[in-house]
Structure 1
């Protein structure tokens, strides 16, 4: 049975997911934003079964259905990078086969292919299917520009040893951006290693996409957005997704909001290093010592080993601090008591801090986190960088004082407040992100 798309019939859309870190949840948020504007569309969400089971454990996704691709024994073994490399080695063939199986099972052809931008091969699959390819980039404009300029960066920077070379040859990158701010897979090493190849191929293939979408808003980075629009067939900015299509949740399992209610406005340091982030033990201890010695109120979403904390730290700081394994980060960052977010500078955390009106202290680790941190530090001036790039007790105390106690913190809160307003305007009824999302829905329907 063949399926012909008609304006009165649902449009079937295949969604290919990069099933690691925060990517699946972000892609689902993106799809929910589209489905809210086009409830007649039907989305099939292709991902690992373990990822799908966590995302679709609740209800409320009538037109978004999970489709499990392989989850063989042993896939979960090894460190996260090894898992990603195993996934990338098999992903293209596995996704293509899964799409064919889903079409055979339903008797309906897919009319569009949405994918995480990392999955560059989705462009080839979409070409075979003769359907539009809509990749979504889950980070900011500036890191995406760096990815599509990988060959130029390698030509200009050259061999290892030039990590301090300025990136001022890139559009709107000042000399404060350095080669060391980029993922090493962009600048140095073997482009055929799995992760480097993924990023390089992505930078090439996105130029062929029907439309590239970004979880950001145009006024956050106007000049870089303009540069990207010159390079892509079409660029649409549809974020911040977490306020464009908020997930309503009152989960406060550890009483964090009540705890925050007892503190003065802009007085608490909220600390989180992401779903995969974990500080080295020596830095965990240094940050803890800084919090205790400085007497800074803190709420720490802690996913590391508590044995890395100084002995007796939890008891000694019980009057000023709270350590929990998980928080509803959007809720926390919108609480008036939170004065700074100590973060790895993942893009979701940056957007959530901006929309909460909260400045940052940045301690990036991998991927695009360093270029994100440099952006919030030198472009928007809403972040304090940890001296030397790693936590020491002295450096952490200095950064916390700057953000929470000194004039610099007040200035950062003012600037982040301006960005917060721009973000809210972008997703408003007539905002730029809302208009771009409407344009995307029309592209998918056509």
Structure 2
């Protein structure tokens, strides 16, 4: 019996992963969890009660257990709070106590927790982890370029807003016009609570054991090298289902957690009937909201392009569509409330992607080699658009007028340039190059794979 006890295999290390409770923040950590599981790490996803109850798809195939905590709005989530200020403060106060209660419950039941990887927007999570002597790792869901700018604001090295005439210079990036910085930097007034969160996410980074980033080394090499002088940075992206990249994880063809029901079969049947490279795919993310005037310009711009288009318009946005538009789009256009974006982007009929440039959509376009027309709205999207056009060379930014509106003629011009012009040829060539580099990064022995292995090694040694 003693000999059996000596040879008993120790349990695997166990990591709690705690994303901010929105689709765009949950997906990257879900994929990170899958990569960790493939390397023998036990993972548990922690989310809010409302989010857990809102998941639509059958996520059992992901084999990631879910534990729920309260954010103070268990029956309505952030929408029930009335404002982002009220919600975020409640999430910090109630969430801190509820997360601590969850840790006590797990530990009292004999579950060991070796690390908590938390969304960097919730810096208070590290304080909770440290109360229990658990190592914490901050997970950056936005580009290193963007977080580099935020850090310079946090340290007082960059004023907000910058003077209108100034050019912004930070390590690892070309000079930016002031308006090419994230909206929280050049126009912080409308969202003071969010501005506080993105700037102060670095306040306790000196106490983290790891800082993770959902990017890959060659995409942001100079910025990453600079950031590694500050923190123990692990670059683990792009966190996209394996079947679209290296195909090492069996059946990993979807994120597995949907908060909005996709019109999947309708999209695929429609795309299957369209010629190769003929479709303009348009989507502005799970949060993007266009004003009625902007919605009208996009609608008639797509109509005037006379090309096939697939446009995602969430149910809450449908009423902004101009009268008569749905009657005139005919067989050339399909408008759906939601879709499985990876399957759409990887479909051979898709020729370009009109995007808000959220970082998940940015990485998905790059990873699947699809050229983009960048139409950013707010937050990090403006800087991502700059990178897509001027640094990574995979698309063009559409110009706005003095009212900040993208007019239909400008949209049509960009669509023609990407779908039919020389700019499109260059963008497609660069997009293919980046696709090859993303696969290289996550493949066995690639830069991102090595950083995940280093994290697993840390866990095993401390375990």
Normalization by structure 1: what TM-score?
Answer: 0.89
**Taking structure 1 as reference, are residues 410 and 120 closer, same or farther at Cα in structure 2, changes over 3 Å only?**
same
Listed as ranges, the gaps of 5+ residues in structure 1 are 1-5
Q: CA deviation at 1:161?
A: 6.7
Bigger Cα displacement from structure 2, 272-281 vs 16-25:
16-25
Aligned to 2:299: 288
Q: CA deviation at 1:261?
A: 2.4
Q: CA deviation at 1:91?
A: 4.9
Residue pair 1:149, 1:203 contacting (<8 A) in 2 also: no
Residue pair 1:21, 1:276 contacting (<8 A) in 2 also: no
Q: How does 1:304-323 map to 2 (within 5 A)?
A: 304-323=316-335
Bigger Cα displacement from structure 2, 330-339 vs 115-124:
115-124
**Taking structure 1 as reference, are residues 398 and 142 closer, same or farther at Cα in structure 2, changes over 3 Å only?**
same
Residue pair 1:117, 1:206 contacting (<8 A) in 2 also: no
Residue pair 2:183, 2:382 contacting (<8 A) in 1 also: no
Residue pair 2:70, 2:95 contacting (<8 A) in 1 also: no
Bigger Cα displacement from structure 2, 385-394 vs 318-327:
385-394
Residue pair 1:46, 1:69 contacting (<8 A) in 2 also: no
**Taking structure 1 as reference, are residues 63 and 278 closer, same or farther at Cα in structure 2, changes over 3 Å only?**
closer
Q: CA deviation at 1:138?
A: 1.1
Residue pair 2:280, 2:353 contacting (<8 A) in 1 also: yes
Inter-partner Cα distance in structure 2 for 1:200 and 1:216:
20
Q: CA deviation at 1:100?
A: 3.9
**Taking structure 1 as reference, are residues 302 and 425 closer, same or farther at Cα in structure 2, changes over 3 Å only?**
same
Aligned to 1:111: 114
Deviations 1:331-362 (A, max 9, x none): 11011111111111001101111122111111
**Taking structure 1 as reference, are residues 207 and 268 closer, same or farther at Cα in structure 2, changes over 3 Å only?**
farther
Residue pair 1:254, 1:324 contacting (<8 A) in 2 also: no
Deviations 1:8-40 (A, max 9, x none): 12323233231124212322222122112115x
Residue pair 2:96, 2:128 contacting (<8 A) in 1 also: no
**Taking structure 1 as reference, are residues 191 and 228 closer, same or farther at Cα in structure 2, changes over 3 Å only?**
farther
Aligned to 2:203: 204
> Residue 387 of structure 1: SS of its match in structure 2?
coil
Aligned to 2:60: 59
Residue pair 1:16, 1:95 contacting (<8 A) in 2 also: no
Residue pair 1:18, 1:24 contacting (<8 A) in 2 also: yes
**Taking structure 1 as reference, are residues 63 and 259 closer, same or farther at Cα in structure 2, changes over 3 Å only?**
closer
Deviations 1:276-307 (A, max 9, x none): 11211111110111111220210011115333
Bigger Cα displacement from structure 2, 128-137 vs 416-425:
128-137
Question: Pick from 260, 280, 287: which aligns with 1:276?
Answer: 287
Residue pair 1:356, 1:420 contacting (<8 A) in 2 also: yes
Deviations 1:254-276 (A, max 9, x none): 42223222323222110000011
Question: Pick from 359, 366, 369: which aligns with 2:371?
Answer: 359
Aligned to 1:427: 442
Aligned to 1:443: 458
Listed as ranges, the gaps of 5+ residues in structure 2 are 1-7, 243-248, 257-261
Inter-partner Cα distance in structure 1 for 2:60 and 2:241:
20
Aligned to 1:3: none
Bigger Cα displacement from structure 2, 65-74 vs 365-374:
65-74
Q: CA deviation at 1:93?
A: 2.6
Residue pair 1:150, 1:203 contacting (<8 A) in 2 also: no
> Residue 429 of structure 1: SS of its match in structure 2?
coil
**Taking structure 1 as reference, are residues 188 and 306 closer, same or farther at Cα in structure 2, changes over 3 Å only?**
closer
Inter-partner Cα distance in structure 2 for 1:80 and 1:248:
35
Q: How does 1:25-40 map to 2 (within 5 A)?
A: 25-39=27-41
Q: CA deviation at 1:7?
A: 6.8
Q: How does 1:378-417 map to 2 (within 5 A)?
A: 378-388=390-400, 390-417=405-432
Inter-partner Cα distance in structure 1 for 2:139 and 2:74:
27
Normalization by structure 2: what TM-score?
Answer: 0.86
Aligned to 2:139: 136
**Taking structure 1 as reference, are residues 421 and 443 closer, same or farther at Cα in structure 2, changes over 3 Å only?**
same
> Residue 438 of structure 1: SS of its match in structure 2?
helix
Bigger Cα displacement from structure 2, 71-80 vs 307-316:
71-80
Residue pair 1:46, 1:95 contacting (<8 A) in 2 also: no
Deviations 1:62-96 (A, max 9, x none): 45332333444564325563564344442553344
**Taking structure 1 as reference, are residues 431 and 243 closer, same or farther at Cα in structure 2, changes over 3 Å only?**
farther
Question: Pick from 85, 99, 118: which aligns with 2:102?
Answer: 99
Aligned to 2:270: 259
Residue pair 1:363, 1:385 contacting (<8 A) in 2 also: yes
> Residue 219 of structure 1: SS of its match in structure 2?
coil
Inter-partner Cα distance in structure 1 for 2:197 and 2:378:
15
Q: CA deviation at 1:110?
A: 2.0
